[in-house]
Amino acid sequence: MLIDTHCHLDFDRFHDDLPAVIARAAAVGVRRIIVPALHPDNWQAVLHLAENYESVYAALGVHPNSCADWDDRWLATLRLLARHEKCVAIGEIGLDYYWDLAPKTVQHRAFAAQLALAAELHLPAIVHNRESDPDLLRLLMDSPLAGRAEAGVLHSFAATWELAQQALAAGFYLGFTGPVTFKKADALRAVAVRVPEERILVETDAPFLTPHPYRGQRNEPAYVLYIAARLAAERGVSETAFAAQTTANAIRLFPGLGANF
């Protein structure tokens, strides 16, 4: 049994075969899929998916690459929609200095406001980080989520062990995606094997970051199996034990997923 804690099933690349994608995931034991929203324009679409597919759950937020037109008034709508019974997190939120699609000051304001909302609603945060380690860590540590036992997850973790340690100490989990299976990803795997067993998650970020042996093709939630298998091998545990551990971790971090499935 596995949980894909990050997958963008609302994207157009799943438009033609979404039921088959979800069925393939179920066939390999993926029992829950969390779909994070990126902008107010797709909050309702993500909730609609969650309402129509039993295994799909939602996270709602504004991605840093989508916050150039950030409006503080969005928070009222987000606060209301995030109370939906199948919304399990605030996300995908964070900082992205690689694409630089929004001014840093705007990214900071949007991120801090959404972290505060997550704390207010007692929801974990799903955090995006690209080339923004110092500012990301500062904003995390300054937020009311810092220090909570289940503060959130640093999604698709690809940073240093130093950042990992600080995030773990602040109550965050670390999620790993397809790149951990890539041939030249020794440094990333070296970080992954050091993460405490109770703080590691697996995710696809589909349709992106497709793991080996399907790299170059569209990713989908069924492929979280390959990520889990590689991490289990690197950590020296059985695939069954690792799947059970990451599933238990996901349920602990996202209690809205429920435990009976």
Digit-coded pLDDT (tens) for 128-171: 999 999 999 999 999 999 999 999 999 999 999 999 999 999 99
Average pLDDT of the segment spanning 62-68:
97
Q: Is 7 in contact with 221 (CB distance < 8 Å)?
A: yes
User: Tell me, what DSSP letter sits at residue 237?
Assistant: S
**pLDDT band (50, 70, 90) for residue 202:** very high
pLDDT at 227 over 90: yes
DSSP 179-230: GGGSTT-HHHHHHHTTS-GGGEEE---BTSSPPTTSTTSPP-GGGHHHHHHH
Q: Give the number of other Cβ atoms within 10 Å of residue 96's Cβ.
A: 21
Angle at 181 between CA 63 and CA 130, to 5 degrees: 25
Q: Is 173 in contact with 199 (CB distance < 8 Å)?
A: yes
Place of tokens 């170059």: 216
pLDDT at 215 over 90: yes
Q: Is 254 in contact with 11 (CB distance < 8 Å)?
A: no
Strand, helix or coil for residue 156: coil
Edge-to-edge strand list for the sheet holding 87-96: 2-4, 30-36, 56-60, 87-96, 125-130, 152-154, 172-176, 200-202
Please indicate, yes or no, whether the overall pTM of this predicted structure exceeds 0.95. Answer: yes
Place of tokens 């393939």: 24
What residues contact 156, with CB distance under 8 A and at least 6 apart?
A: 6, 128, 175, 176, 177, 179, 203, 205, 209
pLDDT at 261 over 90: no
pLDDT at 237 over 90: yes
pLDDT at 260 over 80: no
| Torsion angles phi and psi, residue 258, rounded to 5 | 80, 160
Whole-number average pLDDT of the chain: 97
DSSP 122-155: T--EEEEEES-HHHHHHHHHHSTTTT-TT-EEET
CA atoms within 13 A on the CB side of 259: 6
pLDDT tens-place string over residues 18-58: 999 999 999 999 999 999 999 999 999 999 999 999 999 99
Q: In angstroms, what CA-CA distances link 27 with 1, 147, 220?
A: 10, 38, 13
Measured CA to CA, the distance from residue 137 to residue 53 in angstroms comes to 35
pLDDT, residue 136, reads: 97
Percentage of the chain exceeding pLDDT 70 = 100
